[in-house]
Amino acid sequence: MSKSNWLALLAVVVLILAGFWITRSVYFGTTTTNSYVPPQRELTEVSVEQAAPSARMAAVETPTAAKGLALVDFSHDNALFVEELNTLFSKLVSRGYDYQLVTPVEDEKTDPTLIDQLPMASALVLPLPRQPYSTEEITEIENFVKNGGRLLIIGDPTRTVEVDALNS
């Protein structure tokens, strides 16, 4: 490359840089005296007692402790995994409840069924069962609710499973 080509290339680079500098000077100004200075505000002292609670703390409940047992029925081929109920379990424990999972019975003589465990419970959770409940189970659940037991039925319309067992 000849010396004149280098000089022409250098002139083009200098013109481009000068164009950027001129554009910046016109757009933003050449001095810093025209720059924005925020107004000074007087800050007042605020005691911790007067400070508003954070939104996160305001949303936290302070439940009263109520002791009891919540049965969670996983004996009807449920469409939810136990891990999906961890938030529910932590809320139950924070309110003083114990929870116990009712799993499928392998030996009817030794393993307790839902009907066997229901009299000890104060709450029953039915998380999206896929197998229908027997007539005896339905009767026991109805009596449980009539006698003041709490019932939570969990369904999920977004699951692609048949949920007719909830209607039993």
pLDDT over 70 (residue 59) = no
- CATH number of the CATH domain containing 133: 3.40.50.2300
Domain that holds residue 110: 65-167
Residue 133: count of CB within 10 angstroms of its CB? 20
User: Domain for residue 151, yes or no?
Assistant: yes
pTM: 0.58
Residue 80 resides in a domain: yes
Higher pLDDT, 161 or 79: 79
* Residue 34 is assigned to a structural domain of this protein: no
DSSP at 157: T
> Does a structural domain hold residue 106?
yes
In a domain, 137, yes or no: yes
Q: Is residue 125 part of a domain?
A: yes
Q: Is residue 121 part of a domain?
A: yes
Quickly state the pLDDT bin for 116 (edges 50, 70, 90): confident
Residue 61 tokens read as: 């409940």
31: pLDDT strictly greater than 70: no
Displacement of CA 34 from its chain's centroid (Å) = 49
The domain tally of the chain equals 1
Task: Examine residue 53 and state whether it is found in any structural domain, yes or no.
Answer: no
Output the CA torsion 77→81→85→90 (10° steps): 110
